[in-house]
Structure 1
């Protein structure tokens, strides 16, 4: 394959003078064969044309990375060596359900969790740093889940 590339490079002055619209059938077939071989060997040559950039995904990717960096910087305080943290508040029906479900998951699947109650100033400060105001919410090393998650969803995240 490299030999073909060398021939292409050495033939560059000739190619610059070639009228590709006037190739004979044999020349067109040979050129097509070489071009296909080159593209198979070096697919990155056309990757940008075949898969254009996804600008929306790139924009969210930066925000997602910033969120992951934030979680990483607060992991010690938020997770405290556990797999998941649950933030709850008082007088919150969803919070009571979330706490009971995570306790059941913890007992069944040997999953450790950290419970943060928003009436504790330290927990409230962590929630503020995370940009979370509504309880319940869950924090894992790679994500934040807003609102009460059904136990089947939590089990899937925690037992993968």
Structure 2
């Protein structure tokens, strides 16, 4: 209910916001806005309560899934990485795949680190991608992580420099 009320307030304010710079309100606009926010917070005090006392971090909820993913990566490590630190999965119809390949080639030439290129048109590679539950291309695989989608060279270089 609270989020519905907040969403309603945002939707009602949208036409006004389109014509009003929220940071350049007149005195009358600022008072009207403050009155609306005050009324909402008085009607829905749970909004403030949640903001001041957020629920505890639920990272443990995903611990089992993360451990299972790492086990899967460990099982496939020799097949996917073949001794390299990073593997790139590409395929047809992938807009970012050529850019991902080029950036890894530059990183490889610059750092001397090799990478493995896998094309999912190969049925065995497609099976590995399925096992990893990855269907978006490109994606990168390292011994301890999977990176979904194209990554900038700066990000890849940082990950590759970790030991």
TM over 0.5: yes
Aligned residue in 2 for 1:143: 145
Q: Distance in 2 between matches of 1:88 and 1:129?
A: 16
Q: Distance in 2 between matches of 1:69 and 1:147?
A: 22
Aligned residue in 2 for 1:110: 112
SS of equivalent residue, structure 1 residue 124: helix
Q: Distance in 2 between matches of 1:144 and 1:76?
A: 15
Aligned residue in 1 for 2:38: none
Offset, 1:97 = 0.2
| Count of aligned pairs between the two proteins | 107
Unaligned 5+ segments in structure 2 are: 1-55
Offset, 1:91 = 3.0
**Where does 1:1-160 land on structure 2 (aligned, <5 Å)?**
56-160=58-162
- The C-alpha deviation readout for 1:17-69, integer Å capped at 9, x for no partner, is xxxxxxxxxxxxxxxxxxxxxxxxxxxxxxxxxxxxx6611111111111100
Q: Distance in 2 between matches of 1:104 and 1:57?
A: 36
Q: Distance in 2 between matches of 1:110 and 1:102?
A: 11
CA RMSD, aligned part only?
1.2
Q: Distance in 2 between matches of 1:59 and 1:92?
A: 33
